[in-house]
Amino acid sequence: MHSFSARSRRASFASVAVLGTAVLLAGCAGSADAPDTAGDEAVLSGEIIWADFGGPTNEARQEIYFDPFTADTGVEVISVVVEDAIQNTMMAGGEGDYDATHVGLDQVYANIDNVLEIPEEYQDQELPEDIRPYAFGTFFVGHAQGYLTSTFPDGGPQTWADFWDVETYPGMRAWPGSPGSYDSTCEIALLADGVAPDDLYPLDLDRCTDKLDELRPNIVFYSSYPEIQQLLVSGSAAIAMGPSGQFAALRNAGEDVSVSWDQAIVAPNVIAIPKMAPNPENILALTEVFHDPELQAEFSVRTNYGPGNPDAYDHIPADVQDNLVTAPSHDTIVYQDSPWRAENTEALLNWYTGWLAS
């Protein structure tokens, strides 16, 4: 689906690699020490170590982004499942194996001094201007509620208050059970408790606790995202709160799934390049592929995640757009306040860890 030839892609990747080298040298020494790279023609080789959470999202990346890049450049993209210890060390400026790591936008804000800038022409315009240079591969996740349509044949829950209403909509609720996957749990609890979207931040963690305690007898916890699909299909949960991509995976598997986008929480997910990335030229070159609007559209069709490049919508069918949290028709969605969350990451993690253990 590329609109330019493999030969021109190789030349373009090479120019990005040269730019990446210049960026690194500028960060390590004064401008007088940096060599003049004008006219150089870099040749990419070697590998990229890519860390994300696996599953259908990684499979889509492999086929849509990685395979064409490898075919064009010879650079192998090796996917690994994120290990918190490595990711946290590298995002804090330390050494590690990752060239790229999947993070929430709040993690980029919190560690902005420790990530590489990407070329301006490959920055995602859907991101806030102050953070665009430090992230790529943007996709917008909707933390929404979904259920098998057959579970509620007369119409299912729409609002977060409905999610808490176990009398009208009986059954267990699938809910994140890992401390690091607190996602949008507090925002959702507050919305269910009647807080207006404009009044969510700063998050009232005590109020979140009280509201979650109400629902706890009706919660079945999942420790990994694919478990959402298992819980719904098996009937162990009637409704699930989770990232919209899991509902897309169910739909792709032939299940009839309903998703409510009413006050779904929009969480920008991005890829960050730690400054200590072992293969900076290679990963900076890959940012061009990820910015391609046609490829972003293909990724959105496959995963039902909203694109970071607004031009992608020109290539996304209308019926698919309805399944994307950031579709223009979804006018009640609520965006996370990433800067606030960045400043309060430890408090949020400690809060959720404590609640799960209580």
- Given this model, what pLDDT does residue 42 score? 63
Q: Which residue shows structure tokens 């590329």?
A: 2
- Given this model, what pLDDT does residue 39 score? 37
- Given this model, what pLDDT does residue 56 score? 83
| Rounded CA separation 152/297 (Å) | 31
CB atoms within 10 A of CB 58: 18
Query: Mean pLDDT over residues 183-202, rounded?
Result: 97
pTM, two decimals, is: 0.79
Q: What domains appear along the chain, each with residue ranges and CATH number?
A: 6-140+269-315 (3.40.190.10), 141-267+330-357 (3.40.190.10)
Closest CA to 187 of 103, 268, 107, 266: 266
Say how many residues make up the chain. 358
**Average pLDDT value for the chain:** 89
Q: Which stretches within 111-269 are classed as H helix? A: 160-164, 185-192, 205-215, 226-234, 244-252
The per-residue pLDDT for range 209-266, each reduced to its tens digit, is: 999 999 999 999 999 888 999 999 999 999 999 998 899 889 989 999 999 999 999 9
Instruction: Give 328 or 164, the one with higher predicted confidence.
Output: 164
Q: Residue 19 pLDDT > 90, yes or no?
A: no
92: helix, coil or strand? coil
Q: Residue 18 pLDDT > 80, yes or no?
A: no
Q: Residue 119 pLDDT > 80, yes or no?
A: yes
The per-residue pLDDT for range 270-297, each reduced to its tens digit, is: 999 999 999 999 999 999 999 999 999 9
| Rounded CA separation 29/6 (Å) | 35
Query: Mean pLDDT over residues 78-102, rounded?
Result: 97
Cα separation values, 342 from 54, 186, 268, 345, Å: 24, 15, 13, 5
The per-residue pLDDT for range 53-84, each reduced to its tens digit, is: 888 889 999 999 999 999 999 999 999 999 99
Q: Residue 9 pLDDT > 50, yes or no?
A: no
